Structure 1
């Protein structure tokens, strides 16, 4: 096992459940501004967490019309967070579908330099035709081609990072030599999707490469992540399925010639805290009740790959309308978990919408700090995960509760650090 459980704070504007921005004392605009992000990052660093994670998508989505979303460009936002913190990692989401590998390699190298090696890249493979139309395309590439492009994209980026190793900086004042041309070399990549000469114009990566993180539950995603990623984000609601995924990833990594311990599984974990379990359950209900019916309907339709006209909150759940899991609509990994929960609970359409609003596609704790600590302890000690991507119901107040009441319990059990022992994200993760 790593030295401690890995804990990232997911920076969801306002919080993960319902519409917490509607009852917060701050003005609505606060939740899309950098001060909100800074509040969360500073609280997470006070709690000695490993990183703050900022998800992103290249297009406006259905939920963006009814709640604050991550509107700040991720590199700009994380550069500010890095400048105002000293130890916590900053994880940037960037798609391989609609970016250029040279530009991204340079941006990540620069952010790694200014943050002192505290950077992670959550690489995502973006589908959906709406995003494609923002990048001069009529539709997204077929899935297999998107993942083939992603694999080559990662190959180019890592080669570019390797083209400027730490030893490149000579800085010999006596001879006037600054960079060693024998070390800084072109990569001369020629592939199906990219032709990149290199070398990369960026500061040498003296702190090591940025941490690579992958999110994707399809067979394509699992295979790519096991070959290339340092950590995997996933959606699981029970430790059995999480342990099976972790074993699968480790087996794939070993088959690719990697150390299985070099791949960390970090499932999402939604947490709603209160002094009692009953109070926490009421807090969750209150937050879900803040979401108007039409918003719940739209969000459910979007997750299922349907039109809102296909759903009626007062009707039974329309199983016959659900797109085939092999289709390219929606997020198949999270959609499959949601459908499993709907099936197990026997929920109608309204119940399914509330399940989605509560974050039921992820593991969840609704209860006391002790119950949250017990949950994290169980999954970690039984090998179901290497840590969690924590999603608090309300931000920053929910994170304050987690830092002040859950983290000390984990520390007393020897499962979490009592001080930062390293200054880089690779070090925090034990890589």
Structure 2
């Protein structure tokens, strides 16, 4: 059994409008509201009211198929989190940025700046982006091979870390007596020369007086797990069972120890889809109503995009088309996001319509549909078993579902001694106990 933190970690995953189906279609606000900053701020304030650790903003560098039929994160996540920081005081601010199509100096400066304006509440969810569609937005005809992408990512993280360390926290001393503003002896070049990057440094950014931004990794492949174990403070992953999460958590700790790190310094935070109502029956009906908001043709389109096939090749009322799935993704035990989804389709013996509705209702993440007591029981069971350190909570509707979670689930967790009753830290690093 691996050790657990004192309290469960809870992030609010900001999926515009919510996770299940098409909740934006039944909201009182106009559809465009859900891609605007007011919606983001509302969610962050709800999360902060419940003393949650962070608001998590995922991102991709190109429009995707799902973006045509539902609101997506159109705002740049760093810009959005900077605005959110001005409307909140304690909640952590996690923004996603890819190592595949950015420059380490620019990103190091941007996240150091977010940390400065939020007073230590910044986190970087580093992702490695595949797929040729994104590459074509960055003057490339195709994505780098996987091994090259991950080699670039490792060097990228080394450069960013070195740049963040190029100033000591007390380098800015602003001595009015002598007129010296920066202490040059505490700011150093990094002179990095690597396979991909040549960066002199030092970084032009305020010193990180509240510590580095935390690093979060998202990715289930073998390369991704290795990268997370080497660099990440926390790992975001998809698991449909506590046993699967426990296996991943132990794997991460073992690999972190092999890399010379404290194995307890890395946190596992699976996604948790929550559909919450007074009773389980009401919650199940709520889930069905939200899923039904996606028309059949959109469900087929979204499933086709997930499988990488034309929706015209799919017949909803037919057996699942395993012959259309690449063999490496369909193999039992494969670890990519698509593979987790397919494993659930296989174990539940779903047909095509069932798979499409599964995707509409949240794919292969852990899910709890029920009353506040059932949701609290689920969180407690996974946490106390050592399967995870917390969750990225993915509410069915936002912000209303998060308000209900804060009002009815958080108090139960607090009474059970599993969650804070007030913020005890001013930084995200402090919230996570790092």
TM-score, normalised to structure 1, is 0.98
Q: Is the 8 A contact 1:268 1:388 kept in 2?
A: yes
Match of 2:396 among 393, 396, 402: 393
Unpaired runs of 5+ in structure 2?
A: none
Superposition deviation, residue 360 in structure 1: 3.3
Q: Is the 8 A contact 2:44 2:55 kept in 1?
A: yes
- 1:282 is matched with which residue? 285
Q: Does 1:203 align with 2:206?
A: yes
- 2:249 is matched with which residue? 246
Point out the more displaced range, 402-411 or 301-310.
301-310
Q: Is the 8 A contact 1:20 1:287 kept in 2?
A: yes
Secondary structure class of the residue paired with 1:268 = strand
Superposition deviation, residue 325 in structure 1: 2.2
Point out the more displaced range, 110-119 or 171-180.
171-180
Point out the more displaced range, 342-351 or 14-23.
342-351
Secondary structure class of the residue paired with 2:367 = strand
Match of 1:165 among 168, 175, 183: 168
- 1:374 is matched with which residue? 377
Superposition deviation, residue 77 in structure 1: 0.5
Q: Is the 8 A contact 2:112 2:164 kept in 1?
A: yes
CA distance in 1, matches of 2:358, 2:335: 17
CA distance in 2, matches of 1:78, 1:231: 19
Superposition deviation, residue 35 in structure 1: 0.6
Q: Is the 8 A contact 1:266 1:389 kept in 2?
A: yes
Q: Does 1:94 align with 2:113?
A: no
Q: Does 1:127 align with 2:130?
A: yes
| Structure 1 residues 220 and 418: alpha-carbon distance in aligned structure 2, compared to 1, 3 A threshold | same
- 2:72 is matched with which residue? 69
Superposition deviation, residue 233 in structure 1: 0.2
Q: Does 1:184 align with 2:196?
A: no
Q: Does 1:34 align with 2:40?
A: no
CA distance in 2, matches of 1:363, 1:326: 20
Deviations 1:142-198 (A, max 9, x none): 011000000000000000000012021222222221111111010000001100000
Superposition deviation, residue 74 in structure 1: 0.9
Secondary structure class of the residue paired with 2:160 = helix
CA distance in 2, matches of 1:402, 1:116: 27
Point out the more displaced range, 175-184 or 5-14.
175-184
Superposition deviation, residue 332 in structure 1: 5.7
Q: Does 1:363 align with 2:369?
A: no
Aligned residues: 428
Secondary structure class of the residue paired with 1:22 = helix
- 1:47 is matched with which residue? 50
Deviations 1:337-395 (A, max 9, x none): 21111111211101110011111310000000000000000000010000000000000
- 2:23 is matched with which residue? 20
CA distance in 1, matches of 2:415, 2:208: 36
TM-score, normalised to structure 2, is 0.97
CA distance in 1, matches of 2:341, 2:202: 45
Match of 1:11 among 9, 14, 28: 14
Cα RMSD between the aligned structures? 1.1
- 1:143 is matched with which residue? 146
Q: Does 1:152 align with 2:155?
A: yes
Alignment of 1:419-430 (within 5 A): 419-430=422-433
Deviations 1:186-238 (A, max 9, x none): 00000011000000000000000000000000000000000000000000011
Q: Is the 8 A contact 1:325 1:332 kept in 2?
A: no
Q: Is the 8 A contact 1:281 1:366 kept in 2?
A: yes
Q: Is the 8 A contact 1:231 1:265 kept in 2?
A: yes
Q: Is the 8 A contact 2:329 2:338 kept in 1?
A: no
CA distance in 1, matches of 2:329, 2:394: 29
Superposition deviation, residue 326 in structure 1: 6.0
| Structure 1 residues 391 and 326: alpha-carbon distance in aligned structure 2, compared to 1, 3 A threshold | closer
Superposition deviation, residue 309 in structure 1: 2.8
Q: Is the 8 A contact 2:329 2:339 kept in 1?
A: no
